[in-house]
Structure 1
Amino acid sequence: MARLDLTQRLRTDTGAAVLLLSVTLLALLWANSPLSGAYSALWETPVSLEIGDLAFDMDLHHWVNDGLMVLFFFVVGLEVRQELSVGSLRRRSQRLVPLVAGTAGVVVPALIYLAIAGSTAPEGWGAVVGTDTAFLLGVLALVGPRMSNQLRVFLLTLSVVDDFLAVTIIGVVYSEDVRIGPLLIAAACLGALWLLGRMREWRSTPYVLVVVVLWGATMQAGVHPSIAGMLAGLLVPAALTRRADVVRTKNLYRAYWQSPSASVARDVHLGLSRSISVNHRLHEVLNTPVNVVVVPLFALANAGIDLRGGALGEALASSITWGVVGGLVVGKLVGISLGTWAAVKAGLGTLPDGVGPGSVLGGAALSGIGFTVSLLVIGLAFDDESQVQAATVGVLLALVLASLVAWALFRLARVRWGEETADLPTTLDPPVDPRHDHVQGEPDAPHTIVEYLDYECPFCARATGMWRDLRDELDGRVRYVVRHLPLDDVHPHAHLAAVAAEAAHRQGRFWDMHHHLFAHQSRLEAEDLRGYADELGLDVEQFDADLADESLHARVRDHAESARLSGARGTPTFFLDGVRHQGPHDAATLIAAIEELDAAGRTGR
């Protein structure tokens, strides 16, 4: 149990950041202790791998930087593809602001570095372009607003742009002695990944095998493998889970329940895998090992600089150190803030709901935590040990200073501008009113579940059925309320279907129409709705008149506005006793949440 708790903590943003900071401090202490010779000897250990005529002969330090770190950049590529396909970069209006801000957050730091250290070591400008996402999110959890999920999403989107540009710079600028033959093999591997995606190959094994060959070819070509990892991740397709695939898997489970055997169990396993995109499956498998093993191991191998014998004083007197500090701490803050302001002023998009300008400033300051990408570039850009030391000291100083500046800006935003949170609202607005809301269950039940739904949403159809489980399990302790949130941009028939339910309500048949609409989600045209009214025995002429009644259309729009004020942005969204429920919304989870509330009430908490 203790091991499980530790793993769960390490998977959190704060846990990952604490682990990374702890390993960094360990590397510094080790490199500056009497055992510093062992530290250097460890990373200089030669490790060779020969496959036929191919030979990969590197020391342990390079295996970490050029081998294991490819997994890090591969995960970054997977995340970028997810954001482009199904996430916050899917729509033009959503991606332009972070695109402009992220680009400015790369250009301005590089210019500041060159202004300070360009005459001494211009090749080091790439050390200030990247942001360490793990450190950023961990420090945000420590110094940011009490609730900062929307700001977190905005910063993650920024980091996607930032990482893409940074990895491109590493692959293009810091690659030497390129060999054409292996480069052509690498290009063929990228073509194979694209072809696998076009063929909708759902098994992960072919993608993994091609990526391994791609890494080897890139190494032999003399191109830094970070760009291979990023491009490979970008070519692995991502998609939302389709309801039909979920239903198919459910049927496989039913078959296993009726006849448990090895062959049926295999079918269930394959059905589960097929229902989730290969991108999401690979990301789920690799994300924890990368954050808990690969990145900390990279920090251990690269953060251990020997600062004895006056080396620290030399670093603090170096323009390289202050070029890195200026680029990361000042450049990121100025570049991202100005880029965001310019993009919003130009009408390219808006800030996420709940995120104010003070939170943007604090997040921009946190982006000055370069660390992982910065240390990688330092190892590629500099050959002189004193330059490496100076640049590494700059990265570590920037980590501390960026965190302090962000803390001050978040505090200023809270005190001066009243930005207590950087998230969507979580309280139901307006509260449930039985005179206007559609309620099932005991009127005086101690608990209330409110669902915002869309009649064309396939997941709502299944989630809504959980009410029967709650009613049976909790026996009068909960009531169920429905509110409309038609997602007009993706479900063109949902608004009229909601009006149809309200029209049926005028004849006392809301719940009958409610269930009928979910049972016929693929047929929600006006003529279909009229047919359903006839099947339910409604006065069809009255139903037609009500379907055209502007007051019912306004009622549906009022529900949608209520969803906006309450922080509901998708369907289904649930509120438990007036507070937005976050996480899984299956019946078992909601029952457990209600039982926990009851237990807390009994103990007076």
Structure 2
Amino acid sequence: MARLRRRRRSMSGQKSRPGAAAKQAPLISSRQRRRLERRSVLERITSNGTIAAAVMIVAAVAAVVCANTELYEPLHEWFARPVVIGIGGWEFSLTFELFVNDFLMAIFFLLVGIELKYEMTVGELRRPRQAMLPMLAAVGGVVVPACIYAVINQGGAIYGWAIPMATDIAFALGVLSLLGSRVPPAIKVFFSTLAIADDLLAILAIALFYGHAPSAIWLLAAAAVTLALAMLNRRRHFGLAPYVTLGLVLWFCLFQSGIHATLAGVILAFTIPARSDINAGGLVGWLEGKLPELDDTFDDEAHILGQHDFTHAVYGVERVMHRVTPPLQRLEHRISTPVNFIILPIFAFVNAQVRLVGVDLGALVVDPVAVGTYLGMLLGKPIGIFGMTFLMVKTGLAQLPEGVQWKHIAGIGILGGIGFTMSILIAGLAFTEIPAELLASKTAILAGSVSAAIIGLIYMGIACRERR
């Protein structure tokens, strides 16, 4: 750029002013800088797990309040209204409640699948030996709550056995983050791995036990779409549009097949490439080779719209830089904020409609479904997580991560009882046609999640107090 300026000035007979070459226009204006700073603040807010969990809690509280006022009936009428999707002469409709629970939650499951793939690619799950302890602890945290529920409800509503087994990742990690730097990093890694493994087990339970009688034709269609997604990945196609389009088709096939359609989100996540389309090792050298071209083609005296050679060269750099980020990561950036601040709050508001007006609270408290769910979450989770971890360590099959003590494992077990999102989803699937049991299970889920959050937060605050 300096060479081009000197060349023009020599041709026009102008003399360079002292220090002119050293002076450069700022890259962005002060207004643009302030705009970027505001965007940066917004990104920090939307990436904060505590704030996301708080928004979901506010939505759930609002749902309970609305359910016990005159708004209950109009809200449920609105939830029952059909959402119509049409393409040409073809139409497909489902109620707003189904749209939230089956379609919007499939996007949530897509984000869960992305987190699972990330952990299996570069996270803790890529090292089986290190991941074995929290993953088996998650198994204990699934089996014991399910057994407690099944024992209490034997001969009754045993179909809800999977309700207390799920841990809400966003809610639980949001509560843990309230303790800030007092929590050792190893505890956060252990708990994150456990919660992800727990979610994977919940997804399997939903897919295997909470669907309808499957349709072979639609299952074959779903398998064909999955194969097409796998072929796109194998042929190293790095554009997101074909994956998202086929993902929508896969969701429709699974919705029609009888298997819960949210599984489409997980399948889609595992077929999207986690690699980069660009050789990152040669990127710096390539950019250095492009700088002289940008320097030579830029004219600081011409309007940017007239600098076709320069803008063409910049566009080429932009296209390459855009392809550096793997498609999986690009998709995560696009959906994480809508999932945490739109989809999950909407889900919480729609599904936390616990109406207690005219309900016999004494009978509700002793209902086996409510008792099994509450005790499964509040007792089964810590017993299962701590017990399995203790068994693995004492038998020599694993060892506690550095910086993690037994008191921390007990606290993780308590926080594992926060099972809001997945538990409500499973309850809705288990008791769709039994309103009384659905009310009992939802009430117990809300009470159990709040109890686990408060007790776990107080306990972990005490357990981590001695950390320097």
Query: Same fold by TM (over 0.5)?
Result: yes
In the alignment, the residues of structure 2 paired with residue 336 and residue 317 of structure 1 have an alpha-carbon distance, to the nearest angstrom, of: 26
Judging changes above 3 Å, is the alpha-carbon distance between structure 1 residues 159 and 217 closer, same or farther for their aligned structure 2 residues? same
Judging changes above 3 Å, is the alpha-carbon distance between structure 1 residues 354 and 342 closer, same or farther for their aligned structure 2 residues? same
Q: Does 1:403 align with 2:440?
A: no
Give 3-state SS (helix, strand or coil) of 1:369's partner: coil
Contact in 2 for aligned 1:252/1:268 (Cα 8 Å) = no
Q: Does 1:206 align with 2:255?
A: no
Query: Shift in Å at residue 197 of structure 1?
Result: 2.2
1:238 pairs, out of 267, 274, 277, with 274
Pairs within 5 Å for 1:489-568: none
Give 3-state SS (helix, strand or coil) of 1:67's partner: helix
Q: Which amino acid in structure 2 is aligned with residue 298 of structure 1?
A: F
Query: Shift in Å at residue 31 of structure 1?
Result: 1.1
Query: Shift in Å at residue 6 of structure 1?
Result: 5.4
Q: Which residue of 1 aligns with 2:146?
A: 110
Give 3-state SS (helix, strand or coil) of 2:379's partner: helix
Judging changes above 3 Å, is the alpha-carbon distance between structure 1 residues 351 and 134 closer, same or farther for their aligned structure 2 residues? same
Contact in 2 for aligned 1:131/1:163 (Cα 8 Å) = yes
Alpha-carbon deviations, 1:411-466, whole Å to 9, x = none? Answer: 44246xx4x27xxxxxxxxxxxxxxxxxxxxxxxxxxxxxxxxxxxxxxxxxxxxx
Judging changes above 3 Å, is the alpha-carbon distance between structure 1 residues 249 and 142 closer, same or farther for their aligned structure 2 residues? farther
Contact in 1 for aligned 2:420/2:446 (Cα 8 Å) = yes
Q: Which residue of 2 aligns with 1:490?
A: none
In the alignment, the residues of structure 2 paired with residue 293 and residue 256 of structure 1 have an alpha-carbon distance, to the nearest angstrom, of: 42
Q: Which amino acid in structure 2 is aligned with residue 299 of structure 1?
A: A
1:247 pairs, out of 266, 270, 284, with 284
Query: Shift in Å at residue 343 of structure 1?
Result: 2.6
Q: Which residue of 1 aligns with 2:439?
A: 389
Q: CA RMSD in A?
A: 2.4
Pairs within 5 Å for 1:439-454: none
Q: Which amino acid in structure 2 is aligned with residue 343 of structure 1?
A: M
Alpha-carbon deviations, 1:77-107, whole Å to 9, x = none? Answer: 1111111111111112122112211111111
Q: Does 1:182 align with 2:218?
A: yes
In the alignment, the residues of structure 1 paired with residue 218 and residue 334 of structure 2 have an alpha-carbon distance, to the nearest angstrom, of: 29
Q: Which residue of 1 aligns with 2:11?
A: none
Alpha-carbon deviations, 1:370-413, whole Å to 9, x = none? Answer: 11011111111002111111000110111121123313432442
Q: Which residue of 2 aligns with 1:99?
A: 135
In the alignment, the residues of structure 1 paired with residue 457 and residue 56 of structure 2 have an alpha-carbon distance, to the nearest angstrom, of: 20
In the alignment, the residues of structure 2 paired with residue 73 and residue 274 of structure 1 have an alpha-carbon distance, to the nearest angstrom, of: 25
Judging changes above 3 Å, is the alpha-carbon distance between structure 1 residues 341 and 186 closer, same or farther for their aligned structure 2 residues? same
Query: Shift in Å at residue 148 of structure 1?
Result: 3.7
Judging changes above 3 Å, is the alpha-carbon distance between structure 1 residues 22 and 253 closer, same or farther for their aligned structure 2 residues? farther
Range with bigger deviation, 213-222 or 335-344: 335-344
Q: Does 1:224 align with 2:275?
A: no
Q: Does 1:320 align with 2:369?
A: yes
Query: Shift in Å at residue 73 of structure 1?
Result: 0.4
In the alignment, the residues of structure 1 paired with residue 112 and residue 448 of structure 2 have an alpha-carbon distance, to the nearest angstrom, of: 23
Query: Shift in Å at residue 259 of structure 1?
Result: 4.4
Contact in 2 for aligned 1:101/1:335 (Cα 8 Å) = yes
Q: Which residue of 2 aligns with 1:333?
A: 382
In the alignment, the residues of structure 1 paired with residue 348 and residue 294 of structure 2 have an alpha-carbon distance, to the nearest angstrom, of: 46
Contact in 2 for aligned 1:117/1:319 (Cα 8 Å) = yes
Q: Which amino acid in structure 2 is aligned with residue 276 of structure 1?
A: T
Query: Shift in Å at residue 11 of structure 1?
Result: 2.3
Q: Does 1:19 align with 2:80?
A: no
Judging changes above 3 Å, is the alpha-carbon distance between structure 1 residues 248 and 403 closer, same or farther for their aligned structure 2 residues? same
Judging changes above 3 Å, is the alpha-carbon distance between structure 1 residues 263 and 344 closer, same or farther for their aligned structure 2 residues? farther
Q: Which residue of 1 aligns with 2:321?
A: 272
In the alignment, the residues of structure 1 paired with residue 95 and residue 124 of structure 2 have an alpha-carbon distance, to the nearest angstrom, of: 40
Count the aligned residue pairs: 418
In the alignment, the residues of structure 1 paired with residue 331 and residue 392 of structure 2 have an alpha-carbon distance, to the nearest angstrom, of: 34
Give 3-state SS (helix, strand or coil) of 2:454's partner: helix
Q: Which amino acid in structure 1 is aligned with residue 430 of structure 2?
A: A
Contact in 1 for aligned 2:219/2:254 (Cα 8 Å) = yes
Give 3-state SS (helix, strand or coil) of 1:216's partner: helix
Q: Which residue of 1 aligns with 2:341?
A: 292
Q: Which residue of 2 aligns with 1:44?
A: 80
In the alignment, the residues of structure 1 paired with residue 55 and residue 129 of structure 2 have an alpha-carbon distance, to the nearest angstrom, of: 36
Query: Shift in Å at residue 246 of structure 1?
Result: 3.9
Give 3-state SS (helix, strand or coil) of 2:178's partner: helix
Query: Shift in Å at residue 301 of structure 1?
Result: 0.7
Q: Which residue of 1 aligns with 2:407?
A: 358
- Residue identity over aligned pairs, in percent, reads 33
Q: Which residue of 2 aligns with 1:461?
A: none
Query: Shift in Å at residue 54 of structure 1?
Result: 5.7
Query: Shift in Å at residue 247 of structure 1?
Result: 2.1
Contact in 2 for aligned 1:248/1:271 (Cα 8 Å) = no
Q: Which amino acid in structure 1 is aligned with residue 191 of structure 2?
A: L
Give 3-state SS (helix, strand or coil) of 1:225's partner: coil
Give unmatched runs, 5+ long, in structure 2.
1-34, 299-309
Give unmatched runs, 5+ long, in structure 1.
422-605
Q: Which residue of 2 aligns with 1:79?
A: 115
Query: Shift in Å at residue 156 of structure 1?
Result: 1.2
Contact in 1 for aligned 2:150/2:158 (Cα 8 Å) = yes
In the alignment, the residues of structure 1 paired with residue 168 and residue 286 of structure 2 have an alpha-carbon distance, to the nearest angstrom, of: 38
In the alignment, the residues of structure 1 paired with residue 255 and residue 286 of structure 2 have an alpha-carbon distance, to the nearest angstrom, of: 41
Would you tell me which structure has more helix in proportion to its own residues? 2
Query: Shift in Å at residue 332 of structure 1?
Result: 1.1
Q: Which residue of 2 aligns with 1:282?
A: 331
In the alignment, the residues of structure 2 paired with residue 277 and residue 222 of structure 1 have an alpha-carbon distance, to the nearest angstrom, of: 33
* Length-normalised TM-score, structure 2: 0.83
In the alignment, the residues of structure 2 paired with residue 3 and residue 247 of structure 1 have an alpha-carbon distance, to the nearest angstrom, of: 27
Judging changes above 3 Å, is the alpha-carbon distance between structure 1 residues 333 and 245 closer, same or farther for their aligned structure 2 residues? farther
Query: Shift in Å at residue 340 of structure 1?
Result: 1.9
Give 3-state SS (helix, strand or coil) of 1:352's partner: coil
Q: Which residue of 1 aligns with 2:207?
A: 171
In the alignment, the residues of structure 2 paired with residue 164 and residue 24 of structure 1 have an alpha-carbon distance, to the nearest angstrom, of: 24
